[in-house]
Chain A
Amino acid sequence: MQYYEDIQPGAVREIGSHTFTEQAIVAFARQFDPQPFHTDPEAAKKSAFGGLIASGWHTAATVMRLIVDSAIEVEASLGSPGFDDLSWLKPVRPGDTIRVRMTCIDKTPSRSRPGIGSARFLVETFNQKDELVMRYTSIGIMRFRNPVQP
């Protein structure tokens, strides 16, 4: 979430970290994803996951928080139209610590709105064992620091 001019395709940003607690996993899941393997440690033991795991949406929302907290210029961000190819590759469990790597894929100035542009980022989330737990491609809309006058 820098200004458009600051974004360099190929540039890598390392962001982190956050440790998940059982309490936070259960609280998020009760509100948004009340499946037994996210809300009930006993039931989770008998599930395919063998224990309580975070909702994938909880992991994704936590990654968003890490990205926002790491932003140098929050004011430059104008939101996002969405993301592609989100994969939840490994479960996130209580006590796991995640970190995020954002790699800029490409950037494009807006044709219709001078002074803004978009960029795509590969967003990879790793746990404390350096296993990839989640991956997606995000699209961000941002302001130019110095809009070119028409």
Chain B
Amino acid sequence: MKYLEDFAVGQTMEFPPRTVSEDEIIAFARDYDPQPFHLDKEAARQSLFGGLCASGWHTAGMMMRMLVDNVIGKYASMGSPGVDQLRWVKPVFPGDTLHLRGEILDVKPSRSKPDRGVVTSRYEMKNQKGETVLTMQAKGMYARRPV
């Protein structure tokens, strides 16, 4: 198990890529974001996106899964106070392969609760063409190493 102290400002993170299928996009949209351009290929063709694309919350969920599998799950995570400046820069289409990179911006032990601290990081997700599809800043709460 890793702790707050194992994060370093400036540290960069690379993640194994993930490909998203049309079935996954439609299944998520049916449950959480049933807008025509996430559900219906014909309607999506006439939308601003030009074709069926993933709900932005689905893209965010896939990013979270990559973060948990590769970083958060290996640390003593205590949840997240929030995220900021999330931008869905380009649509994610069926068959797209998502590549995520991250950088640690700040590591701050809590003043009021000496057993934990907050890590601020920035993430950028690109598709297989190298186009940025999502950017975000996130805060994560982590336990400090027990003494």
Chain A contact residues, CB within 8 Å of chain B: 31-35, 37, 47-49, 53, 55-57, 60-62, 64-65, 68-69, 74-75, 77-88, 91, 141
Contact = CB atoms under 8 A, between A and B. Distances in A.
A86 B84 CA distance: 6
B17 interface: no
A65 B82 contact: no
Contact of A85 (B77, B78, B82, B87): B82
B68 A35 contact: yes
B57 A88 contact: no
Given A56-B79, A61-B28, A78-B48, 5 more contacts: A53-B79, A57-B61, A64-B32, A82-B85, A85-B84
Nearest to B60: A57
Contacts of A53: 79
Contact of A77 (B31, B32, B35, B64): B35
**Interface centre among A53, A78, A79, by most B CB within 10 Å?**
A79
Interface residues of B, number: 37
Contacts of B77: 35
Contact of B33 (A31, A47, A65, A87): A65
Contact of B68 (A33, A62, A64): A33
A60 B16 CA distance: 25
A87 to B, nearest CB: 4
Interface in B61-95: 61-62, 64-65, 68-69, 72-73, 77-89
